[in-house]
């Protein structure tokens, strides 16, 4: 995780977060993501491959359609940038949007 | 200033602010707004979002909390979309930059987003396009619904501009403020024409693209005499039209002066002049204009603009109110005639492909007996208050007539058992509106007390022309020899059976046809109140001899054009100032 500061106390925080639930970033996870992002004041940009989306916009996030295993690049900019990255990582990687991981192949 | 030519369907001149109402299929044309109106449109947008969100939140809350169902998800998705921080801003930006109405901006932005979604490879995402379209509808409903409220809460005089007008939209037009109608579509006997004539306001139809040209709040002149509409007229034109308007008003009041005079021909033959109404409020207008009763009380208004069917009490109150105005003068109540119209179509799982030939009017009633009997009960109960007569529309054969009379008899028995009073001898009649009824009038006449010829539908069904379709509106003419022959047949058969025949279609309010109708034996005419004085004037200016001759002549001609021309000249000689 890289942290940088500029002169107005704004923090920029970037992280890579991996999709761990089987169904990936479909509507329900996207809504949860956007809800969490909107609780913080920082701007959130999510990049998946070639596509970028405003992490606070459901319209844009639902278009990303990131699948299981995708590594999202998240950039947060603002006073609580670190907090929002932390919350999002928890949602995506630890809680897995409250959804199951893929079934192991036999 | 732009001048558009259309079809004149209701006389008069009106100069007022325009108010455009959209049809309900949400095809939103791009309509310009003034820069000064942008803020107001942004506010409308904000309110629409807020109301849509409230509406969804309520729907969501009403869902069963334990359900982890698809429906709850859908509301959640839609709410998220509506609350998306970029969406409202994007629409607002479009309003500001392009100076367009909120409806157009909503539609444009959401359709673009829907299109992006539907192009996505992931099927789950492409399905979201349907959600976006749903949200578009929900927002438009808020925006357009408010417009409909605008029509219900007018505070200044307006001319209504629309693609076309349905009975649902026109029910409740306040004649104090609605001063003219102008539509893109429609023909001489479209609903717009009928409503305008009832209200006594000018109307021009078949203007094709008027709704694309008129911006919100433009000044508009409707010339219902010449069939012209002028958008944003210049000073000179306004002054000229104010003059025309004055002249027309003078003619009107001269005619009104004969309201107290009887409708008697020069050779002493008495003609009964009645009025066509849709609401009880119009009853007084019929009297004011010199009518002697109601020849056609269209009861459809009771069914429109509401979620539930009218109750028996609601029916009864409307009928009793009307009868009270006329006491012992006739009031002919026509049972529900809806069909080919939103009321019966929206309730169907699959809309009929040919509603005009489908389950409408009396056929619909015979398959919805509870609803039908409710209306019949109310009419019968009102029948003790005055001279109430009942009329059934669209009867096409004897079997249908017998069935209907059977139902009526059933209802009478019910009332009798409940000791509720009604007129056992209530005169019962039918509308002759189809070729089949006209051709078998002789046998139908034996089972009814009177006929009333609905010339609008009779012409439509006989000539196979949709009177609301502007593409063929020139084919529609009541002066067609086929129509005239059928009318004559009905008059002759009715005469033999010694029952009364009246005319209640738009033909009855057309000065050119009066001599012809009198000459065919018609002695009772029912029309929209504003034309009563003019028609009475014509009646008082002719002799039955002259009328018989006109009828004979017209019936010997073979072309509609010839007949039309002949009738117009004959009428012009009698009443030059009406032309």
The pLDDT score that the predictor gives to residue B34 is: 84
pLDDT of residue B67: 52
Specify the pLDDT at position B205. Answer: 92
Give chain B's contact residues with A (Cβ, < 8 Å). 73, 76-77, 80-81, 83-87, 113, 116-117, 120, 122, 124-125, 128
Q: What is the token pair recorded at B519?
A: 């000459």
Write out B255-303 in H/E/C secondary structure.
Answer: HHCCCCCCCECCCCCECEEEEEECCCCHHHHHHHCCCCCEEEEECHHHH
Which residues of B are less than 8 Å from A59 in CB distance?
A: 81, 84, 86-87, 113
3-state DSSP call for residue B8?
strand
Contacts of B80 in chain A (CB under 8 A): 31, 34, 58
CB contact under 8 Å between A59 and B76, yes or no, is no
Report the gap between the CA of A59 and the closest CA in chain B (Å).
Answer: 6
Contacts of A49 in chain B (CB under 8 A): none
Among chain A residues, the shortest Cα distance to B124 is held by A26
Q: Report the catalytic residues of A.
A: 26
- The answer to whether A31 contacts B125, with C-beta atoms less than 8 Å apart, is no
Best of A59, A65, A67 to disrupt the B interface (most B CBs within 10 Å) is A59
pLDDT at B65: 60
DSSP result, B389-402: EEEES---SHHHHH
Residue B84 has its nearest CB partner, among A26, A27, A57, at A57
pLDDT at position B114: 85
Residues of B in contact with A58 (CB under 8 A): 80-81, 83-84
- Contact at CB, A59 and B84, closer than 8 angstroms: yes
Q: What is the pLDDT of residue A13?
A: 92
Tell me phi and psi for residue B277, to 5 degrees. Answer: -135, 160
Among B56, B60, B80, pick the best mutation site for testing chain A contact (most A Cβ within 10 A).
B80
Torsion (CA) B158, B164, B166, B172 in degrees, nearest 10 = 0
Chain A positions touching B86 (Cβ under 8 A) are 54, 57, 59-60
Structural domains present in chain A: 2-97 (3.30.1340.10)
* pLDDT beneath 70, residues of chain B: 22-29, 63-72, 146-152, 167-168, 171-172, 188-189, 216, 305-307, 339-351, 470, 577-579
C-alpha B116/C-alpha A60 separation (Å) is 11
Res B344: pLDDT: 52
d(CA B157, CA B136): 31
Q: Which residues of chain A have a Cβ shorter than 8 Å from any chain B Cβ?
A: 26-28, 31, 34, 38, 54, 56-60, 62-63, 65
| pLDDT band per the 50, 70, 90 thresholds, residue A100 | confident
Contacts of B414 by beta carbon, 8 Å cutoff, 6+ apart:
B373, B377
* Band of pLDDT at residue A36, cut at 50, 70 and 90: very high
Compare A99 and B306 and report the one with higher pLDDT.
A99
- Name the residue among A28, A57, A63 with its Cβ closest to that of B125: A63
Cβ separation A63–B80 shorter than 8 A: no
Residue B188, pLDDT score: 67
Q: Which of A16, A28, A27 is nearest to B127 (CA)?
A: A27
Select from A31, A38, A56 the Cβ nearest to the Cβ of B77. Answer: A31
Structure tokens at B214: 């008129």
B123 min Cα distance to partner chain A (Å): 10
Kindly give the pairing relationship between strand A71-78 and strand B158-162.
unpaired
Higher pLDDT, A31 or B145: A31
Listed residue (B233, B237, B165) closest to B201, CA to CA: B165
Quick one: closest CA in A to B73, which residue?
A28
> Which domains are present in chain B?
2-26+153-249 (3.50.30.10), 35-151 (1.10.274.10), 257-578 (3.20.20.60)
Interface touch A54/B86, C-beta < 8 Å: yes
Q: What is the pLDDT of residue B168?
A: 67
Is pLDDT of A38 > 60? yes
Neighbouring residues of A72: CB distance < 8 A, sequence distance ≥ 6: A16, A17, A18, A19, A46, A47, A48, A64, A66, A92
Instruction: Give the one of B84, B124, B125 whose C-beta lies nearest to A58's C-beta.
Output: B84
* DSSP 8-class letter at B37: G
The ipTM is 0.78
Strands B219-223 and B203-205: unpaired
Pick the closest to residue B170 from B141, B140, B148, B142 (CA basis).
B148
Per-residue pLDDT, averaged over A43-50, amounts to: 92
| A26, A28, A57: residue with CB nearest B85 | A57
The count of CB pairs under 8 A between chains A and B is: 40
Per the confidence metrics, is the pTM higher than 0.95?
no
Are residues A58 and B117, on separate chains, in Cβ contact within 8 Å?
A: no
Mean residue pLDDT of chain A comes to: 87
The whole-number pLDDT of residue B7 equals: 86
Alpha carbon separation from B129 to A62, B81, B120, B125, B463 (Å, rounded):
11, 12, 10, 8, 45
B297, B307, B308, B347, B376 from B311: Cα distances, Å: 18, 12, 9, 18, 12
Which entry of B191, B315, B491, B547 is annotated as an active-site residue?
Answer: B191
Cα nearest neighbour of B72 on chain A:
A28
The minimum CA-CA distance between A31 and chain B, rounded to whole Å, is: 7
Q: Do B73 and A28 touch (CB under 8 A)?
A: yes
Quote the minimal CA–CA distance from B132 to chain A in Å.
10
Give the β-pairing of B13-21 and B219-223. Answer: antiparallel
């Amino acid at each position: 995780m890289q942290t940088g500061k500029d002169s107005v106390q704004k923090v920029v925080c970037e992280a890579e977060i991996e999709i761990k639930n089987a169904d990936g970033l479909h509507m329900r996870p996207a809504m949860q993501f956007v809800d969490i992002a909107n609780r913080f004041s920082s701007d959130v940009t999510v990049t998946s491959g070639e596509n970028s989306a405003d992490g606070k916009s459901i319209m844009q996030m639902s278009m990303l359609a990131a699948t299981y295993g995708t590594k999202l690049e998240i950039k947060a900019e603002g006073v609580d940038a670190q907090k929002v990255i932390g919350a999002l990582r928890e949602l995506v990687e630890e809680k897995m949007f409250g959804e199951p991981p893929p079934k192991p192949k036999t | 200033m732009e001048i558009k030519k259309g079809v004149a369907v209701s006389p008069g001149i009106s100069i007022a602010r325009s108010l455009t109402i959209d049809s309900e299929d949400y095809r939103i044309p791009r309509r310009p707004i003034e820069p000064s109106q942008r803020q107001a449109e942004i506010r409308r947008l904000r309110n629409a979002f807020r109301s849509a969100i409230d509406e969804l939140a309520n729907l969501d809350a009403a869902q069963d909390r334990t359900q982890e169902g698809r429906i709850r998800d859908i509301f959640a998705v839609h709410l998220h979309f509506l609350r998306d921080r970029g969406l409202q801003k994007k629409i607002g930006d479009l309003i500001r930059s392009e100076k367009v109405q909120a409806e157009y901006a909503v539609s444009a932005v959401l359709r673009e987003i829907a299109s992006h979604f539907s192009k996505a490879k992931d099927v789950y995402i492409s399905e979201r396009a349907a959600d976006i379209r749903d949200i578009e509808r929900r927002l438009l409903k808020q925006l357009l619904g408010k417009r409909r409220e605008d029509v219900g809460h007018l505070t200044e005089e307006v001319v209504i501009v629309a693609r076309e007008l349905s009975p649902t939209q026109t029910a409740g037009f306040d004649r104090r403020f609605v001063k003219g109608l102008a539509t893109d579509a429609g023909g001489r006997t479209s609903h717009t024409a009928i409503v305008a004539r009832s209200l006594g306001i000018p109307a021009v139809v078949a203007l094709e693209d008027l709704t694309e040209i008129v911006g919100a709040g433009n000044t508009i002149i409707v010339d219902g005499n010449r069939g012209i509409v002028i958008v944003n007229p210049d000073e000179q034109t306004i002054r000229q039209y104010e003059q025309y308007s004055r002249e027309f008003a003078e003619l009107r009041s001269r005619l009104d002066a004969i309201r107290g005079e009887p409708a008697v021909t020069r050779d002493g033959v008495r003609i009964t002049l009645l009025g066509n109404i849709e609401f009880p409020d119009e009853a007084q207008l019929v009297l004011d204009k010199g009518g002697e009763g109601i020849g056609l009380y269209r009861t459809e208004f009771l069914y429109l603009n509401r979620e539930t069917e009218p109750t028996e009490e609601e029916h009864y109150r409307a009928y009793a109110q009307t009868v009270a105005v006329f006491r012992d003068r006739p009031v002919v109540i026509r049972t529900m005639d809806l069909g080919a119209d939103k009321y019966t179509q929206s309730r169907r799982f699959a809309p009929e492909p040919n509603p005009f030939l489908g389950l409408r009017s009396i056929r619909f009633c015979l398959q919805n007996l509870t609803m039908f009997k409710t209306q019949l009960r109310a009419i019968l109960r009102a029948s003790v208050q005055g001279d109430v007569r009942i009329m059934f529309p669209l009867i096409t054969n004897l079997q249908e007539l017998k069935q209907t009379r059977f139902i009526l008899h059933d209802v009478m028995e019910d009332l009798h058992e409940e000791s509720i009073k009604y007129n056992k001898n209530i005169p019962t009649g039918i509308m002759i509106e189809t070729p089949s009824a006209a051709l078998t009038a002789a046998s139908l006449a034996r089972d009814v007390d009177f006929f009333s010829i609905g010339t609008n539908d009779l012409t439509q069904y006989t000539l196979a022309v949709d009177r609301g379709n502007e593409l063929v509106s020139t084919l529609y003419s009541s002066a067609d020899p086929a129509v005239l022959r059928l009318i004559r047949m009905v008059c002759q058969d009715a005469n033999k059976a010694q029952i009364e025949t009246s005319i209640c279609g738009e033909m009855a309010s057309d000065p050119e046809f009066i001599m012809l109708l009198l000459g065919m034996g018609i002695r009772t005419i029912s029309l929209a109140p504003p034309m009563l004085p003019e028609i009475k004037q014509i009646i008082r200016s002719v002799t039955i001899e002259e009328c018989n001759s006109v009828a004979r002549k017209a019936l010997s001609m073979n072309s509609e054009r010839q007949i039309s021309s002949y009738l117009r000249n004959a009428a012009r000689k009698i009443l030059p100032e009406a032309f």
